[in-house]
Each structure stands twice: as C-alpha cells, then as structure tokens.
Amino acid sequence: MYIQVKLKDIKILPYENQFVIMTSNINPKKKAIGIFKNNKIQKLKYQDYNPSKLIPRNLEQKMAIELLMDDSIPLVSLAGVAGVSKTLLQLSVSLDKIMQNDSKYKKIILVKPPVSLDKDFQTGFKKGDLFSKYINTLGSITSNLEVLKEDNYNRHMNGIRLLEGYIDQNLMEICSLEDLLGMSYNNCIILAEEMQLMTKENIFALLTRLGNSRIFINGDLCQSSRMIPKDPRDMGLFHTIDVFKDSVLSGHLKLETIQRSEFVSELYKVW
C-alpha cells in the first residue's frame, strides 16, 4: 500500500536533488524519504548501499551516499562542522567508483588548499616533490584511508603508505592549485577538501577544470578563514552552494551529527 504525494500538497516546492521526509498523518511514527528530481519525488536508489564496505550510521549519511552515487549529478557538496564524516563519505564513494570494472572514472584527483591553521604557524618552503609537499596537508585523506582499509582483524593500516600506493597505481593524483590553470580533468572524480578556504575566484577556476568528470567538495561554512575575513558569503563554498542550489547538475547536503568522538560532540556544545 502506498499514498501518492502530489506537488500541490507540498507547501514549499523543493530544490532539485533535495531530500523530502514525509510523515504519515495517520501514524506520525511512520516516515518515508524521497528525493525531488525532474519535478517529482522519487524513491532513493542507494539507501541500502555500502560504498567501499562503509555502513552508513544514520539517515543523513544515507542521503549523502545517495547524492554521491548518482552519476547524473556532476557537483556534490557536503557541508558541516569537523567530525561529521564529510571526507569519509566522499572518499568511500570515490574509491567504490574507480574500483568498478565498468566504471568510466579512472582516478581520484585530490585537492586541498595548502593553507596553514594560522598566520603565525608557518613552516616555510617545503622541499621535495609534490607528494612530499602535500602529504601533511592531506592528513584528512590518509586518516580516512586507514579507516576504510582497516582489515578484518582490525590491524592498523598506514594511511601514508596507502596513499602512496594508490598514486603509484595511477588511481590517485594530487592537484597543485598553484598550477591549476590550463588543466582539464576527464574521467575522474575530483575530491576537493576544505573549500571554505577558497575564494569565489579560486573555486571558479577549479570548477572550470571539470570535463567528463564529477567533483565532490566539502567544508565548514561556520569556520572562519584568514583569506575571507569580512563576509562568509564571500566563501567559494557558500557561493557555489548558493548559485547551484536549484540546478539538476548539483546536490548539496549539510551533515549535522558528529561521528568523530563523544568529546568533539561535547566540545561544540560548550565552546
């Protein structure tokens, strides 16, 4: 048995690729979730899917996986405070995609602004190749690789060695934002981290590199940036979500449940 929901019954028309949670008038405990696509509410396709064997812990993670798995959406953004699993979800789907035998996606492009925590914390010029320069910056990737690749015996896997192995196999590539202009990314998934540190001009330059590929971006809209000190609406991440909010080519989700630890969850309550 099912009840058809008509658009005239919805008080606020959803954006494209926006999730809709419906509650039964007869039994409020019964709920259903759908996604608004092509002017109608559709059933989720991936609500029971576990990318890279990652089991979603709650409804918002299932919604994130739904957007990330949908190849008809080139741009997917996940926003939220530290510890809500933005990178873990995006990395798990990215790896799942490139490991499929019939996938058109051949590699993951890793993008992260090489910006220090504070202007007083500067390490200066870093010697070595691109891997050596960025390996500490990409700590969010290496730590989440350790989570995804932990074996059945819960033995620790070294994230740096894992990343190095993927790069050697040409399955991952580090993008230097300084050398971005002129590049074109095809048949890959761009995983762009901490995009609240990018200005509108910066992120526009990144998005124009997108060929026959997809881009997953994430960041914390509430996190202040030294690069954007006046108005958070000047953040590249905020602007991207705002201008693409009703596009069929994009999907956006804010994650709210902190998964990192009970301490971090408490920290956000008391700080």
| pLDDT beyond 80 at 153 | no
Rounded distance between C-alpha atoms, residue 271 and residue 267, angstroms: 6
CA distances from 5 to 27, 32, 71, 123, 162 (A): 16, 11, 26, 57, 47
> Does residue 154 carry a pLDDT above 70?
no
Is the pLDDT reported for residue 119 higher than 90?
no
Using DSSP bridges, classify how beta strands 18-23 and 31-37 pair: parallel, antiparallel or unpaired: antiparallel
Q: In this predicted structure, what is the pLDDT of residue 111? A: 94
What the block records as the tokens of 70 is 């949908």
**What average pLDDT does range 2-16 have in this prediction?**
65
Mean pLDDT of 40-69: 95
Residue 56 pLDDT: 95
Q: How far apart are CA 5 and CA 8, in angstroms?
A: 9
Q: Tokens for 157?
A: 């896997």
3-class secondary structure, 102: coil
**pLDDT band of 189, cuts 50, 70, 90:** very high
Specify the higher pLDDT residue, 186 or 222. 186
Of residues 74 and 41, more confidently modeled: 74
Q: CB under 8 Å to 54, separation ≥6 — which residues?
A: 88, 89, 92, 148
| The residue to which tokens 């070294």 are assigned | 158
Higher pLDDT, 150 or 168: 168
Judged against a pLDDT cut of 70, whether residue 120 lies above it is answered with no
Which pLDDT score, from 0 to 100, does residue 137 have? 83
Read off the pLDDT band of 229 (50, 70, 90): low
Q: Can you tell me the mean pLDDT for 209-236?
A: 80
Query: Which residues are CB-neighbours of 121 under 8 A, at least 6 positions away?
Result: none
Task: Give the pair of three-digit tokens for residue 205.
Answer: 């330059």
Q: What is the pLDDT of residue 245?
A: 93
pLDDT of residue 168: 95
CATH topology of domain 72-270: Rossmann fold (3.40.50)
Cβ atoms 219, 194 nearer than 8 A: yes
Residues 97, 205 contacting (CB under 8 angstroms): no
Residue 2 has pLDDT above 60, yes or no: no
Query: Hey, what are 96's tokens?
Result: 């799942």
Q: In the prediction, which pLDDT does 1 show?
A: 36
CA-based torsion, 47, 53, 56, 61: positive or negative: negative
The pTM of this model reads: 0.89
Residue 189 in contact with residue 214, Cβ under 8 Å?
yes
Confidence class of residue 92 from pLDDT cuts 50, 70 and 90?
very high
What are the CA-CA distances from residue 13 to residues 60, 73, 242 (Å)?
A: 20, 20, 17
Angle formed at CA 154 by CA 150 and CA 155, multiple of 5 degrees: 75
Residue 16 has a pLDDT of 93
